[in-house]
Amino acid sequence: MKKFVLLILLCLIVFSSIAQKSGKRDTLVNKDGISIKSQLIPLGLITTGAIIASTHTREYLQDQWGNTTCTKLDDYIQYIPDLTVFAAHFAGFKHKNTLLNTAKFMAISQLTTAIIVQSCKRIFDVPRPYGGRYTFPSGHTSQAFVGATAQYHEFKDYSPWFAYCGYAFAAAVGAMRVTNNRHWVPDVLCGAGIGMLVTNIVYYYEPFKEWDPFKKKKYAFVPGLGFQGSTAVASLSFTF
């Protein structure tokens, strides 16, 4: 039974994420913006997590998992999708955006997700399985899914297998947060949904895309020569 529940959760997160495959951007949106239909996966994860969190089902699901409290691997692999995106840029993998824009979109996604997650934690103040506070939703999981979704958007048009592999690490983070007894299953589902949804929105609207503080400006020195009465006057103007 434990293996069955584990398999169901991993399939729900990983394969539902892969189901986002859309090929081109216009299939993710309608003419007015992001369509609700195209975001059914993250919205479904959030809704499912919220429903489970409001029932005793979460306690039942928690009892079906094994225990891996001896490892803190999830504290580190949550950053693998983020690092993979930047490593791929430097390695020359074909990607959607410039390195600067990728960094901007990921930073905005991470910051927005963190604000939402931390606000929800304090609003709902749900106790953790081991007795701590602020469990709902999972910050580790949302962090990992932001990176995985950014990886998906950056590389889906050029290397689908590489675009999806970030979700495997993100799903592993979610699974270990439960097996480490740090989070309930609904915490992980909602965290994954929030991270995916926020990143999808950021990658659609592309905030600050044209802002580039490192862009080289064109400077020019323009010499001039004139006369004031019978006196010749030389000048040098600076334009940019």
pLDDT tens-digit map of 90-135: 998 898 999 999 999 999 999 999 999 999 999 999 999 988 899 9
Among 118, 136, 115, smallest CA distance to 127 is for 136
Distance CA 226, CA 128 (A): 80
The predicted model scores a pTM of 0.77
**Topology of the domain covering 2-239:** Vanadium-containing Chloroperoxidase; domain 1 (1.20.144)
Residue 80: partners with Cβ closer than 8 Å, 6 or more residues away: 144, 147, 166, 169
CA 120 to chain centre: 17
Contacts of 180 (CB under 8 A, 6+ apart): 67, 68, 69, 71, 72, 74
* CB crowding 164-186: b at 16 or more within 10 Å, else e: bbbbbbbbbbbbbbbbbbbbbbb
The domain ranges of the chain are 2-239
pLDDT surpasses 80 at 214: no
Q: Are 146 and 17 in contact (CB under 8 A)?
A: no
pLDDT tens digits along 5-17: 444 455 445 444 5
User: What is the rounded CA–CA span in Å between residue 74 and residue 34?
Assistant: 32
User: pLDDT tens digit string along 111-123?
Assistant: 999 999 999 999 9
CA distance 167 to 199: 13
What's the chain's average pLDDT? 80
pLDDT at 143 over 70: yes
Which range of 63-77, 196-210, 224-238 scores highest in mean pLDDT? It is 196-210
Identify the pLDDT of residue 3. Answer: 42
Angle in degrees, CA 102, 103, 109, rounded to 5: 90
The pLDDT of 165-189, averaged and rounded, is 94
* pLDDT digits 0-9 by tens, 150-169: 999 999 999 989 999 999 99
User: What percentage of the chain exceeds 70 in pLDDT?
Assistant: 73
Residue 33's pLDDT band, with cuts at 50, 70 and 90, is: low
- 3-class SS at 171? helix
Give the DSSP H or E segment for 231.
Answer: strand 231-239
pLDDT, greater one: 191 or 35: 191
